[in-house]
Structure 1
Amino acid sequence: MAKTMLMITSVASMIKQFNMDNIAILQELGYQVHVATNFEHGSTMSVEENKKLKIELQQLGITVHQIDFPRGMGTPQMLKVVLRQLSIIVKTNRFYFIHCQSAIGGLCGRLIGHKYHVKVIYTAHGFQFFKGSSRLSWLTVYPVEKYLSHYTDNLITVNQEDFRLAKSKFHAKQINYVPGIGIDVKAISDAKVNRSKKRSSLGIPDDATVVLSVGELNDNKNHSVVLNALGTINHEDIYYVICGIGDKKAELLNLAKRNNLDGRLKLLGYRTDVTEIMKAADIFVFPSFREGLPVSLMEAMAAGLPIIASKTRGNTDLIEDGVNGYLFKPDDSATLAKKLESLISSTSELKTFVTAGIKKVSLFSGLVVRKYMYNIYNSI
């Protein structure tokens, strides 16, 4: 009988965006894969995309389980419901191990694994506590993660800062660094797009300077700092394009008006053609306050875009200031404006950053990450 394993995430988008390659590896190793996540809501994907993912997984021979993970951490009562649902699944299947991800997925997955004596791998896609984060996160989330590390057979971190902290402070049986989830650098780099046609479809002139960001419309992604920076740059041909959904849409549109960018902020929502949009853009800005190891930033590097990113954990694994991009403090719109003006006016700088960026991101390719994950799964 084939060995079975359970993959737990709190939202379905983490399966689609982070784990399809992992599932393929597990199937190659002979595992019957079960996926437990919330296909109903709370995802960065649309409801329709969630439905498509569920069908895709089932067609791959994967057993899917709907778990009513709440948005955010939820209430104790909500967590009891989740733990009860997971308990039923684990009691009725003989799982060889559990691979859990996300803050709440990691919490519930490790509690269930400990209760039923199942081995647990936990991937931390960026701890919520880090250098420069709030004191509250260190007083609340850090102790929980440290405690749960006792219930972790293999803790995977995706950036160097988290890896160093976990090695020095946590108690997992094994602690590994894996360079993110991996991207197909060659496919993104080689992708072709008709820039003029793509821009026309987005309502952007051929001769405009397009600044692109990818990320949810929320406080952490910090798109407002870009709007404030652009408001100080005296170029009427600059457009700011954001791919992502979230509850800050109206707020960002109002901020664009205040910065005289009305009509030049394009909120595109959830997109499946991000690579094409990257190929039609000129500069990629990634202004987050907190990151793990951002996929969209790696994709922008592979797409040949010069980068300006916030100086925060994860981003600093990818960008070396002045070598393959610029870094700025995420609340410093004045410095961001200067960096934007520098890139807009310097062709040689653009080319230098692009060449160095593609070389750097090749270290984070899917082929590299696949070897790490194959070895980890095989060692279980």
Structure 2
Amino acid sequence: MEKVLMLASVSSMIYQFNMPNIRLLKEQGYEVHVAANFEKGSPASLENTEDLKNELIELGVFYHQIDCQRGVGDITSHIHSYKQIKKIIRSNHFSFIHCHTPITGALTRMAARKNQIPIIYTAHGFHFFEGSPMKNWLFYPIEKILSGYTDVLVTINQEDYNRANEHFNMKNIKYIPGVGLNTSKFRNAVIDRKALRSEIEVPEDAIMMFSVGEISSRKNHETAIRALAKTVNKNLYYAICGQGELEPYLKHLTKELGIENRVKFLGFRKDIAQLCKASDIYVFPSQREGLGIAAIEGMASGLPLISSYINGIRDYTLNEETGYCLDPFDINGFTEAMDKLSSDNDLRDKIGEHNKEAAKRFDSKNVNELMKNIYRGMKVDAIPDKKLVMNKEQIEAQHYIK
């Protein structure tokens, strides 16, 4: 049976974005191996890691521990991760490798280049893009050099595709609209709106804005919070799902601005589709997004967007059609958009209906079919294996390789 290796820096990346790809590979008859850091992360991501391990075991997928970091970090840790990846590659005969995330993608392509193993690299949004800080462009020459070791470069937004297609040296390049979203789950979610709002302490008659994302500078919740403080409508609330290092700072900021009762920090939640349905407006002020699947979830739920207009977000937003598109630091612009949408029920409904249709382009069915074709192009001759019958302890011992 032919083997395939899937890599990402952290296990949450596999859990959130790559399970459909793993299933596609299993359907095509491959023995699938996954490598990521399964041992570090936030409490929420580690909880997901246990779910991920169980799911991988059920699918018969082998998983390997690599001590990768998401950030640039220190060179010593990257050398260590590089050696781990190289050992995994040398210990197996992979037909091809599919890697994700900048650091792990770079280490993998360097580790595999002498083995002449075909490599797919999915760029979930380059750090360098139109309007990004100059320091972000330090990644440009790295990605350009590494493209020479890439058989298929997959981009998830048009700006990345156009730049790579014009300037990089990969053998092939493909554009796929995101990582796939079950749009019907968000479009058709059924909730008890009154009960859910009561749970999160948002009045039933309030206009509720909603965001999902790590509470970090990149997600830029501060712009939305400062804009909320300046709105005319004082019955406008803002609920944020996510965790991150800026949460204490932002909570303090809401107190300084006198809106602590109107901003709800909900932490990690699994009922995102239901919370979208309990909301009236989706706010997405990110400084950078490869695509921004969270905003598309909001669109699929029938919500108008108030969003940044930067790299990946440009692929699905249009000012006054999907909502309002703004510079991520335009606090006054966000305030004006909040006041317009919160005061006009008909406008919210009109834009929301448009967004339900616009989100369908990013549905999992479309994305999976495109990804399936990419995998078929890498395939030599995979033959399904006989199912092994083992108890849970034997499976866990065989499938988790440290």
Contact 1:13 1:44 in 2 (8 A): no
Contact 1:44 1:245 in 2 (8 A): no
Contact 2:228 2:335 in 1 (8 A): yes
Residue correspondence of structure 1 range 227-238 to structure 2 within 5 A: 227-238=225-236
Q: Percent identity?
A: 40
CA distance in 2, matches of 1:44, 1:316: 32
Out of 287, 290, 297, which is 2:288 matched to? 290
CA distance in 1, matches of 2:210, 2:22: 31
Partner of 1:95: 94
1:252 Cα deviation after fit:
0.3
Partner of 2:370: 372
Partner of 1:327: 325
Partner of 2:384: none
Out of 341, 344, 367, which is 2:342 matched to? 344
Q: What count of residue pairs does the alignment treat as equivalent?
A: 378
CA distance in 1, matches of 2:58, 2:30: 16
Partner of 1:169: 167
CA distance in 2, matches of 1:339, 1:161: 26
Judge which range, 260-269 or 296-305, deviates more: 260-269
Partner of 1:60: 59
Instruction: Note closer, same or farther for the CA distance 1:131–1:365 as it changes in structure 2 (3 Å cut).
Output: same
Question: C-alpha root-mean-square deviation of aligned residues, in Å?
Answer: 1.2
Out of 141, 151, 154, which is 1:153 matched to? 151
Q: Which amino acid aligns with 1:368?
A: N
1:115 Cα deviation after fit:
2.8
Q: What is the DSSP-based 3-state SS (H/G/I as helix, E as strand, rest coil) of the residue aligned with 2:259?
A: coil
Partner of 2:75: 76
1:115 aligns with 2:120: no
CA distance in 2, matches of 1:264, 1:340: 14
Q: What is the DSSP-based 3-state SS (H/G/I as helix, E as strand, rest coil) of the residue aligned with 1:10?
A: strand
CA distance in 1, matches of 2:185, 2:262: 30
1:71 Cα deviation after fit:
4.2
CA distance in 2, matches of 1:258, 1:329: 24
Q: Which amino acid aligns with 1:269?
A: G
Q: Which amino acid aligns with 1:134?
A: P
Q: Which amino acid aligns with 1:54?
A: K
CA distance in 1, matches of 2:80, 2:294: 33
Contact 2:101 2:122 in 1 (8 A): yes
Q: What is the DSSP-based 3-state SS (H/G/I as helix, E as strand, rest coil) of the residue aligned with 2:311?
A: coil
Partner of 1:125: 124
Residue correspondence of structure 1 range 217-256 to structure 2 within 5 A: 217-256=215-254
Contact 2:10 2:69 in 1 (8 A): no
1:44 Cα deviation after fit:
8.6
Partner of 1:86: 85
1:187 Cα deviation after fit:
2.2
CA distance in 2, matches of 1:50, 1:186: 26
Contact 1:100 1:120 in 2 (8 A): yes
CA distance in 2, matches of 1:26, 1:286: 33
Specify which structure has the bigger relative contact order, considering alpha-carbon pairs within 8 angstroms and separated by 6 or more residues. Answer: 2
Residue correspondence of structure 1 range 165-204 to structure 2 within 5 A: 165-204=163-202
Question: Unaligned stretches of 5+ in structure 2?
Answer: 379-402
Partner of 1:39: 38
- CA deviations over 1:268-300 (Å, ceiling 9, x no partner): 111111111111111100000100111111111
Partner of 2:312: 314
1:277 aligns with 2:275: yes
Q: What is the DSSP-based 3-state SS (H/G/I as helix, E as strand, rest coil) of the residue aligned with 1:46?
A: helix
1:363 aligns with 2:361: yes
Q: Which amino acid aligns with 2:297?
A: E
Contact 1:12 1:43 in 2 (8 A): no
1:364 Cα deviation after fit:
1.0
1:113 Cα deviation after fit:
1.9
Out of 187, 191, 209, which is 1:211 matched to? 209
1:348 Cα deviation after fit:
2.1
How high is the TM-score relative to the length of structure 2?
Answer: 0.92
1:135 aligns with 2:134: yes
Q: Which amino acid aligns with 2:83?
A: R
Question: Unaligned stretches of 5+ in structure 1?
Answer: none
- CA deviations over 1:31-63 (Å, ceiling 9, x no partner): 111000011124694322212211221121100
